Amino acid sequence: MRFDVFSLFPDIFQPYLDISILKRAIAHSLIEVHTHNIRDWAFDKHHLTDDTPYGGGGGMIMKPEPVFAAVEDIMGQAPSDPVILLCPQGEVLNQSIARDLAQHERIGIICGRYESFDERIRQHLATRVISIGDFVLTGGELPALILMDAVARLVPGVLGDETATTDDSFAEDGLLEYPQYTKPPVFRGWEVPEILVGGNHILQAKWKRQQSLIRTLEWRPDLLEKANLSKEDQRFLEAYLKYKDRSIQDNPQ
Q: Is 88 a catalytic residue?
A: yes
Q: Which of 40, 72, 81, 115 is catalytic?
A: 115
Q: Which of 10, 66, 141, 153 is catalytic?
A: 153
Q: Is 115 a catalytic residue?
A: yes
Q: Which of 10, 66, 82, 88 is catalytic?
A: 88
Work out the number of other CB atoms within 10 angstroms of the CB of residue 227.
Answer: 17
Specify the 3-state DSSP secondary structure of 231: helix
CA-to-CA distance for 73 and 64, rounded, in angstroms?
A: 14
Q: Which of 168, 191, 232, 245 is catalytic?
A: 168
Closest CA to 144 of 95, 96, 93: 93
Q: Is 81 a catalytic residue?
A: no
Contact by Cβ (8 Å): 8, 35: no
Instruction: Give the DSSP H or E segment for 17.
Output: helix 14-17
Closest CA to 40 of 32, 30, 49, 51: 49
Tell me the catalytic residues: 88, 115, 153, 168
